Amino acid sequence: MNFGIAERRIEQEMPHLYPVDDPQFFRSMGILMGPAIVQGNRVQELVNGEQIFPAMLQAIREARRTVLFETFIYWAGDIGEQMADALSERARNGVKVHVLLDWVGSIRCDAKLLETMSEAGVEVRRYHPLHWYHLMRMNNRTHRKLLIVDGSIGFTGGVGIAPQWTGHAQDPDHWRDTHFRVDGPVVAQMQSVMLANWSKTTGVVLHGDAYFPPLEPVGHLPAQMFASSPTGGSESMTLMYMLAITAAVRSIDIGSAYFVPDDVNCKALRSAAQRGVRVRIITPGRHTDEATVRRASRGIWGALLQAGVEMYEYQPTMFHVKIMIVDQLLTSVGSTNFDPRSLHLNDEANLNVYDTDFARRMTDIFEADLKASRRITFEEWRHRPLHEKVKEKLAAVVTPIL
């Protein structure tokens, strides 16, 4: 029952009715999807841990009223200690600090770090811990990565709090990832997403100007913070991806740490390629923390490759980026992978930015990752060894529940 979905899944491919730059697309994304597209935002990309963690730590250390932090992975290590120290210092100085850690993702966290934070006044809670009354939803994890400071500065992306995310992806022990600092009115939506899970976990509703201060425009980017959860729209993220893919007329670039799209998404990607859209997808190569997922992914590449989709495997280290860029206009970033767990079982959150300049910058980073990746052709895929094909078939059975 944990692995089942109560809601009906999207089973039919959506028709291509309008392009990404059509006003109807914006209406669909801003009304059909739920969160409004708000103007006046600024988004700064942070590439790899050497840029990501200093920015996050600085924002925490400069907090004056509130810090809210939700994450899937929080493990032992130096960066975990630095985060705990920064959060604790702010709490001791009167800042209201709320930390929500997924129970499964933080199971390797040093208990002393949690004790240090709690003793300093940080409110630390676990999402869906192991209790008899949680058994029906044990497989529903929060995979969101959200940090909101003073209700006005937000961070989201793919990083967890662990040594693997430090450095600059210089070797297989240091992963490739991207995170984003966000300023402007859309931060209120980020705060709302975080507080929904906080109230679900604690029964406490946090509100007031300490959490939702007035936010003035600070840039020119239209954006929305989009969330999904099995308890409140498990198919929402799938629908968002489907709308974007079916609207594409020129290009779709996808980076996904775990790429195992279901049949309807595969059909949408194939249809896009067949109508002339350039579709490029980067996934992890031999350096991966989930070999079973990689096998399941490779097993479904045949039809995609035949349709003209370009598949690439990142070579230097684990590729943990989650990004989709459509027609050099829409960029979607956040915690969501292109796999059954993210699309149907996890709580996820993505930031959608609608701007050509921002999309161009993200494409430049994507192109740099392409240069460090190896393209897999249909001929190479078709002639892979028999033992790999067998492993791929077996992996496909269990991947939806990993």
Catalytically annotated residues: 143, 145, 150, 320, 322, 327
Query: Distance (Å, rounded) from C-alpha 382 to C-alpha 187?
Result: 46
Q: What are phi and psi of 170, to 5 degrees?
A: -80, -15
Query: Distance (Å, rounded) from C-alpha 209 to C-alpha 211?
Result: 5
Q: Is 364 exposed, middle or buried (0-12, 13-18, 19+ CB in 10 A)?
A: exposed
Q: Pairing mode, if any, of strands 322-326 and 310-314? A: unpaired
DSSP state of 164: G
Beta bridge partners of 221: 41
Query: Distance (Å, rounded) from C-alpha 314 to C-alpha 4?
Result: 32
Nearest to 253 by CA among 351, 378, 134, 361: 361
Buried b (16+ CB within 10 A) or exposed e, 284-314: bbebbebebbbbbbbbbbeebbebbbbbbbb
DSSP state of 228: E
Q: Pairing mode, if any, of strands 278-284 and 251-256? A: parallel
Q: Which two tokens stand for residue 97?
A: 């600090």
Beta bridge partners of 183: 42, 153
The residue ranges of DSSP E strands in 116-208, in sequence order, are 123-127, 146-149, 153-157, 178-183
Q: Pairing mode, if any, of strands 278-284 and 310-314? A: parallel
Query: What is the secondary structure of 242-284 as a DSSP string?
Result: HHHHHH-SSEEEEEESSB---HHHHHHHHHHHHTT-EEEEEEE
8 A C-beta contact, residue 143 and residue 160: no
